[in-house]
Amino acid sequence: MTFDHVKEPDFIIQIKVRFFFNIRFGEAVCKSGNYSGATCGTLQTRNFSIDIEGSTFFNLRAASTFMWTGDSGGTVYADTVLKGVAMGFNANYPMYYSHVGNVNRVLGLTPIFK
Distance CA 77, CA 80 (A): 7
Distance CA 100, CA 16 (A): 16
Maximum distance among all Cα pairs of the chain, rounded to whole angstroms: 47
Q: Tell whether the torsion through CA atoms of 53, 71, 23 and 114 is positive or negative.
A: positive
Whole-prediction pTM value?
0.72
- Kindly list the domain boundaries of the chain, sorted by start residue: 20-107
20-107 is classed CATH 2.40.10.10: yes
SS3 at position 70: coil
Do the Cβ atoms of 96 and 87 come closer than 8 Å?
A: yes
pLDDT tens for 46-92 read: 888 999 899 999 889 999 998 999 999 999 988 878 888 999 998 88
Q: What single letter denotes the amino acid at residue 46?
A: R
Share of the chain above pLDDT 90, in %: 39
